[in-house]
Amino acid sequence: MKLDEERDRVLNSADQNTADQYQRFLCNRGGCFLTNGVPRAINVTLLPTPVSRQAYNHLVTAQEPLNKLIELSSRDVEFVKRTIEPCTKVDYLAKRLLEIYLQCVSDEDQITLGMYRHDYMFHCPDPSGEDAIHNGAFKMVEANLMSAALLGTGTHAMELHNQVLARELPGREQPYEKSLRPMVRGVATAWGCYERPDSVFLFLVAPDDFNWFDQQKIIDTLWDEHGIMSMKMTYEEFMEEGELTSDNRYYVRGKEVGVFYFRSMWNEDHYKTERHWETRLRIEKCRAIVVPNIRHQCINLKYFQQAYLQQGVVEKYLSEEESKLVRSVFAELHQLSPGKEGDRAAQLAFDNPKGWVLKPSREGGGNNIWDEDMVKKLTELHDSAEREAYVLMQRLTPPLVPNRAVKHEPNERAKLTEIFDTTGELGLFCVFVADSKKQILVNEVAGPLIRTKPAANNEGGIAIGIGVMDSAVFAD
């Protein structure tokens, strides 16, 4: 797709000096990942990805009722049970989460803090067409209600591109404010509801987490702007050091935990022993705020994306206008449980492998199954109960946008790629806070993030170096 001559000029004139400037900017701001303990600047696009202003604004408008839907439906025990129970024979994670949910959902005094990232693609009929950016709509890829990463790192990509636009393409406008500060303001609101000013915000992270700098931006902003102290440890370290008092408060290293923030433990493999599950239950039942709480961790399962598409489900929790708005951003999904309905969905994939993608319920990138591999997998599953653990999703076709990337390795000079066609995935960070009386205090979009990959690749993982960080610029 051809954009404008000024953008083409910048793409064609960039050189090694440009790449060096990007690397220094990112290192100076902390826009880095850790690779084997060694910092490296994030990989980033040369220019931000253009998006339709009208489509973007419509998408933003849909987020508030979507967040409300998540909260209200997560409190509906029958809905949650009905959605998860059929899958528990083949999905051990779903089975154990539902068990904890049923033990804890009746707790009425829980403060709710949601730190979400809802991911979308712009779906258009002709990705290479001249007007592809304006001829389509954003559709949801997934809702990330747990461990929604890249909040700080995405802010740095936006800051970098903001300076590049001011210097090279003046007058181009980026959407929204930076994601980090609005999100942290919401966290501070929830922490204030806990009314324990000496309590800490505890990150539960994976060992050797490459996202150290991303998390550190949250830690620094919490302290600098709100005076909230943070701590960071692995789940296993907390299992050994956490102490639960008789009044149901958790302490670790002499500090009370006011907020548990899970940046790990989203996958069944993370719960290595029964003690891991017992600790998750105790965390949920203690007085502290938990992000995500067990209600939201259950809703995070992919089954709910498909459940929301069923007739009358969204309308049970939202007004007619809100329901219409939320449904407008949903992609088409089908459940694959054994039986006629699941068979009809599987046949869609057999008839048009290029039009669908097979998605497992588990979290983390790189798990989707595409094209002939999808056909092979569905053939293997046939009438197996294991088919219940997957959903079939409409394959989205975003615009093809020419761009370049600046790539980095530890202790090496930045490298500038040639121009190649890219596709982007837009994430909207959202923050949601409700007090112990279920009154909604905060429900807002914090800001956008784009992750971009070569159009030739199905998957675009940031961690494995295929995808790169990006930001948005209005095309009009």
Q: What is the pLDDT of residue 35?
A: 86
Q: What is the pLDDT of residue 106?
A: 76
Q: What is the dihedral of CA 431, 123, 381, 459, to 10 degrees?
A: -70
pLDDT digits (tens, 9 = 90+) for 449-466: 999 999 988 876 776 678
Q: What is the pLDDT of residue 109?
A: 75
Q: What is the mean pLDDT of residues 185-205?
A: 97
Residue 150 banded pLDDT, cuts 50, 70, 90: very high
Lowest-pLDDT choice from 78-92, 95-109, 419-433: 95-109
Q: What is the mean pLDDT of residues 308-337?
A: 96
Range of 128-137, 143-152, 399-408 with top mean pLDDT = 399-408
Residue 362 banded pLDDT, cuts 50, 70, 90: low
CA dist., res. 425 & res. 294, Å (int):
27
Q: Are 288 and 248 in contact (CB under 8 A)?
A: no
CA atoms within 13 A on the CB side of 205: 18
CA dist., res. 470 & res. 215, Å (int):
18
Beta-strand runs (E) in 80-126: 112-123
CA dist., res. 218 & res. 213, Å (int):
9
More confident residue, 266 or 279: 279
Give 118's strand partners.
143, 428
Q: How far is CA 217 from CA 39, 88, 224, 283, 448, in A?
A: 15, 38, 10, 25, 16
Phi, psi of 47 (to 5 degrees): -130, 155
CA dist., res. 384 & res. 394, Å (int):
22
pLDDT digits (tens, 9 = 90+) for 256-278: 999 999 999 988 999 999 999 99
Q: Are 453 and 422 in contact (CB under 8 A)?
A: yes
Question: Is the pLDDT confidence value at 388 over 90?
Answer: no
What is the residue-averaged pLDDT of the chain?
Answer: 93
Q: What is the mean pLDDT of residues 180-196?
A: 96
Sequence-distant (6+) residues with CB within 8 A of 84 are 94, 97, 98, 298, 301, 303
Q: What is the pLDDT of residue 292?
A: 97
Question: Is the pLDDT confidence value at 1 over 70?
Answer: no
Q: What is the mean pLDDT of residues 58-63?
A: 97
Residue 361 banded pLDDT, cuts 50, 70, 90: confident
Q: What is the pLDDT of residue 176?
A: 67
Q: What is the pLDDT of residue 389?
A: 87
Q: What is the mean pLDDT of residues 4-15?
A: 94
Q: What is the pLDDT of residue 364?
A: 56
Q: Give, for 109, the enclosing helix (H) or strand (E).
A: none
Share of the chain above pLDDT 70, in %: 97
Question: Is the pLDDT confidence value at 36 over 90?
Answer: no
Q: How far is CA 331 from CA 123, 286, 348, 381, 445, in A?
A: 9, 37, 15, 24, 20
Q: What is the pLDDT of residue 105?
A: 85
Lowest-pLDDT choice from 117-121, 222-226, 387-391: 387-391
Token couple for 436: 């112990």
pLDDT digits (tens, 9 = 90+) for 92-138: 999 999 999 999 987 667 899 999 999 999 999 888 888 899 999 99
B/e letters for 315-339, b = 16+ CB within 10 Å, e = fewer, are: eebbeeebbebbeebbbebbbbbbe
Q: What is the pLDDT of residue 3?
A: 60
Q: What is the pLDDT of residue 459?
A: 76
Q: Is the peptide bond before 292 cis (omega within 30 degrees of 0)?
A: yes
Instruction: Say which DSSP state 86 is in.
Output: G
pLDDT digits (tens, 9 = 90+) for 24-34: 999 999 999 99
Q: What is the dihedral of CA 245, 248, 250, 254, to 10 degrees?
A: -40
Give me the count of residues in the chain. Answer: 476
Share of the chain above pLDDT 90, in %: 81
pTM (predicted TM-score):
0.95
